[in-house]
Structure 1
Amino acid sequence: MDKPIPAANSAAATAAAAPAGPLDGIRVLDLTSVVLGPMATQALADLGADVIKIEGPEGDLMRANGVSRHAGMSSIYLALNRNKRSVVLDLKRPEGAAALRRLIAGADVLVHNMRVAAIERLGFGYAAVAAINPRIVYCVATGFGQDGPHRDKPAFDDIIQAACGLVALGSSAGGRPEYVPSLIADKTTGLALANAVLAALLHRERHGGGQSVEVPMLETMASFVMAEHLAGLTFEPATGGAGYARLLQGGRRPAQTADGWICALPYTDRHWKAFFHAVGRDELADKYDIASRAKRNANIRALYRHLGEITPARTTAQWMALFEALDIPATPIYTPDELPGHPHLAAVGLFQRTEHPTEGPLREMRPAARFSATPLSLRRHAPALGEHTAEVLREAGLAPEEIALLAGGAETADCAGGNAP
């Protein structure tokens, strides 16, 4: 693991210690909580934006979910809130709302995942915010698009997984429906939200003026799932049902070895011929006429059945050596516990050891993207609740006596997305 990265405790220390990313100079007001919104705003923070996390006195709900050393600083919170500053404001109090309006005046982006009615009640719907700052990009993550009949329904990751067809895909072979064991709807929609913010900022740069942007979870995930599964429904009239047969009818699957599991993916006729020749089963290449892509695809389940019958004869390491020699895509099956030791991830330093001022030594993941001119970095530790309240409000021009009056926070109920295990 890399040498520990010291925690940055001020904007000046941060600027001196780490390079700025391509969004340096962009200020984001982050009124999100749980998973979806923080995933999106962390993507912007990793790219160099100054993300100010507005929290209520109770803090982001996700501060309590996951593994914790100290209350309010859970593993999930730490993973989703690096490179941000935390400000506590109570938007239900006049002085808290007034402070947020001061921050809005100097911001480039405001992101929230409250229900629209809830933020309107607080006085921070798009019209009110744009009246303060017409150039602001105002982005809301909703559960369901606001022009549809489900616009007021609550939305969580499980609900969207079920509603978008993802859960049904997993049970297409007749098994019990199960949720994907990852907050995939929250995280996928979060990345879509970050992309939407970037597009709106580019539009503002080219044409001037801000705008309102909505990223609904159900529509985002339905598009995500159906990209390969629209199938016969693509055409009017439909030529068949939905579903990508190659995935739904089985075939490719992990193979057991003498000491574990491996994912091997012979993809071309050359791959299959080389594999069968290496294991002394040339007759199988002839039997299934694998030179024909159509016939190979038609027999894919039989081909992988043979592969699964052959692989228990050797160890994972032996198979990896053979597949690498044959240039066949393959990897051992890694558990999450094993990922920090993955030879590639270790070599590129994805997992880094940092020092947090309250949580001590941490293992964190650096931003994955690489920029040659504006490199990304772990500039800031995930903040304690309200850690930067006075600092940020001073920057906004509030007097010490005004700052002293503030103890509040943002509305955190009625959010779209983010129920976590």
Structure 2
Amino acid sequence: MPGPLSGVRVVEMTSTVSGPLAGMVLADQGADVIKVEPPMFGDTCRYLGSSRAGMGGMYAVLNRNKRAVALDLKEPNQKAALIDLVRSADVFLENYRPGVLDRQELGYDALSAINPRLIYVSITGYGLDGPYENRRVYDPLIQATVGMAATQGDLGQRPENVRTILFDKVTGLTAAQAITAALFQRTNTGKGQHLPVSMLDSALYYTWPDVMWSRTLQGEGASDVGELADYFHVLKTKDGYVSVILIQDDSLQLVSVWRGSEIHLDPRFTTLPARMANRQAFLDAMEETLADVTTNEVCDMLDSFGVPVARVNSLDTVHEDEQVLQQRSLVEVDHPEIGPMRLPRPPAHFDGQGPIEEFPARHAAYLGAHTREVLEEIGTDEALISAIERRDAEQAAQLQAAMAAAGN
């Protein structure tokens, strides 16, 4: 896919979400991202969630615009092929546990020795060292560590996880931005570098400004204005829900007068601090006031008052939102193997990238779909390429037979 990173080659050896998302961003921006996976099963994300014809929807989104190569790194000749590929690369992106690739002689020291201009990116959970370095890490564990789980619901009550893998995705975006900055730096220094990016650091960096706004100023004399989340409300209407921000007292007065209510005169609700101190009573009173009006009516009227408001869309209606449609934020395409899909276009569209109708330039591919193409580009021996193709065909047949036997 053309873009500002055209001409940049990325060798991606990652799985699941954080690494693949970083590679996806780079591929969407024009980089030649070559995803190298182990044979037989490949990235476990291939099979997660809703799937069709052997590929999951999440994998199809995260691995668009990439080329797929399958190499068995336990085989010396295939490992040598990977090293040849790295010689031609600008970026090597991995999210293995700390030390795993070092033990395979594929760590930063080994690969930078053969390609001093290589930007080697290591995405980890808790970092490259420390008491947690070897823990298995998933997004909910990072949510717990950085305090995000404690912010869901009322503080002091039972913690809850955010119902999305938030920090995997934040880490992927952080890594992608760091890679582009490192590429720019290399134009001045001529040298590559090792870029460790942890989910822990990314999560703290992301959450701190608002989640920790009452814990940033240390020592005496800082005002206490509560938690930012307490300023926002989701209210039930006659036929759904709205998200509304009633920070200004005159906003509450406008809503109250519109509904023929006297909520704005109730001493528990006349000021923002009072509303925050009596939050549940305020929510109950507001929902009683809005109980006989529809979501559309609430949105239209509050918007006319200048009160920030939005309907709460269900997951099944997001694509029908009039602003989403106007912005063409989502595209509907036919994947050549797995059929019709709906997915978001990249939020930043660069000059020369062509119309939205041409996105994505390359769909997520089956395991090893581009092995021959890529290995031929780097001059790999034909006998090895043919042997890899025979292996892939045999393993694909075995996997299909196993899935058929399991009823999938």
| 1:143–1:151 Cα contact (<8 Å) kept | yes
Deviation of 1:349 (Å) = 2.1
**Aligned-pair distance for 1:76?**
1.4
Match of 1:256 in 2: 236
Among candidates 39, 46, 65, match of residue 48 of structure 2: 65
Partner Cα separation in structure 2 for residue 181 and residue 230 of structure 1: 20
Conservation of the 8 A alpha-carbon contact between 1:233 and 1:239: no
Measured at CA, do residues 144 and 82 of structure 1 come closer, stay the same or move farther in structure 2, by a change above 3 Å? same
How far did 1:126 drift? Answer: 0.3
1:108–1:240 CA distance, 2 compared to 1 (3 A): same
Q: Which runs of 5+ in 2 are unaligned?
A: 393-408
Shift, 1:237, TM fit: 3.8
Q: Which residue does the alignment assign to 1:386?
A: 368
Number of aligned positions between the proteins = 387
| Correspondence for 2:61 | 79
Matches within 5 A, 1:18-33: 20-33=2-15
| 1:122 corresponding residue in structure 2 | 104
The correspondence of residues 296-375 of structure 1 with structure 2, limited to 5 A, is 304-374=283-353
Q: 1:274 to 1:393 in 2, by over 3 A?
A: same
Query: SS of the residue aligned with 2:376?
Result: helix
Q: Aligned equivalents of 2:266 and 2:53: distance in 1?
A: 63
Q: Which amino acid aligns with 1:102?
A: D
Q: Larger relative CO (CA 8 A, sep 6+): 1 or 2?
A: 1
Partner of 2:175: 193
Taking the TM superposition and a 5 Å limit, the aligned residue runs for 1:88-127 are 88-127=70-109
1:388 and 1:366 map into 2 onto residues whose CA distance is 24
- Residue 30 of structure 1 aligns to a residue whose secondary structure is strand
Q: State the SS of the aligned residue for 1:312.
A: coil
Determine the structure 1 residue equivalent to 2:165: 183
C-alpha displacement at 1:256, in angstroms?
1.0
Hey, what's the Cα distance between the residues in 2 that align with 1:22 and 1:51? 14
Partner of 2:226: 245
Question: How far apart, in 2, do the equivalents of 1:252 and 1:70 lie?
Answer: 43
What is the CA–CA distance in structure 2 between the aligned matches of 1:25 and 1:112, rounded to whole Å?
20
1:132 aligned residue: 114
Who is 2:246 aligned against?
Answer: 266
**Which of 376, 381, 397 is residue 379 of structure 2 equivalent to?**
397
Q: Percent identity?
A: 35
1:137 aligned partner, one-letter code: I
Structure 1 residues 60 and 404, CA gap change in structure 2 (3 angstroms):
same
**Alpha-carbon distance between aligned partners in 2 of 1:345 and 1:123, rounded to the nearest angstrom:** 47
TM-aligned CA distance change 1:171 to 1:288, over 3 Å: closer
Name the aligned partner's letter for residue 53 of structure 1: K
RMSD: 2.7
Stretches of structure 1 lacking an aligned partner (at least 5 in a row) = 1-18, 410-421
Give the TM-score normalised by the residue count of structure 1.
0.84
The answer (yes or no) to whether the contact 1:158–1:179 under 8 Å persists in 2 is yes
- Partner residue in 1 for 2:396: none
Contact kept, 8 Å, 2:333 with 2:342, in 1: the verdict is yes
How far, CA to CA, are the matches of 2:336 and 2:138 in structure 1?
A: 32
